[in-house]
Amino acid sequence: MSDVLYFNGRFTTTDERVLGVEDRGFLFGDAVYEVFKFLSKQPVFFRDHWRRLARNLDAIEIRNPWTEPSFIEAMRALLERTAFADGIVYIQVSRGEGPRAHFYPDDMVPTTIAYSRAFKFPDAAKKERGVQLITTVDRRWKHCDVKSVNLLANALAKKEAQRAGADEALLVDEGAVREGASSNFFAVRGGRVITHPLDEHILPGVTRDHTITVARNAGIPLDEGIVREHELGSLEEAFISSTTLGVMPVVKIDDRPIGGGVRGPLTAQLQRLFDEAEAHAVGF
């Protein structure tokens, strides 16, 4: 079954080929994207995703095709047309279409797409079992805080992890652990949770932000700081976070068990707290 596709203000399906060959998102990666989760056709943390999309468009000076009310209207209409209850919505806005040139006019009309896709989210067994990571060199561009479609380095890192029998790649830059190829990273050391501070080296994750909030509200010690690669083997616990995974335990890094190779107690507590927060954040 084809997925529902929103394209420049109209609805079709993903069977229709809609992008022109000179769209700047296709030619230059001149675009940003956003992904939100929905349950029972209702979005999760919706306004956080809208704010991040708007912030990223502004960061690379692409005109926002929506206001917040028109974005809500478009996404509500997309979900109403969707045939399944649970999944994700992928959104992409490029600078637009025009003759291929590095210079571009200031008045370009953005190309906007959004489509829904069924997704199997982790069940309780997966949330307990956790995932394995490998470390690899961070080869991304220098504005990782922008959720751009320039994901070649991320994709190559994910493929490296897959070939090693792992689930995710942990990106390391001159000894500093940054984040996963498609997730944020958290470490537990000395009973404290540590995650990379918000700067140009990591993406401001919606799940990351809510995990930090629930941790602090629960009185769990949490620092935003740098974890070094040589410290990974001595961690008590570790986990990653993303829209599709939620809070996910890390049980091995580079074939070395973390915390005995099982989910740790702080990770389990944060999973429960995050899941409760997510359940209260469903809807427009």
Is 252 labeled as catalytic in the residue annotation? no
Length of the chain, in residues: 284
Buried b (16+ CB within 10 A) or exposed e, 90-123: bbbbbbbbeeeeeeeeeebebbbbbbbeeeeebe
What are the beta bridge partners of residue 185? 240
From 127, 147, 158, 252, the catalytic residue: 147
Active-site amino acid positions: 147
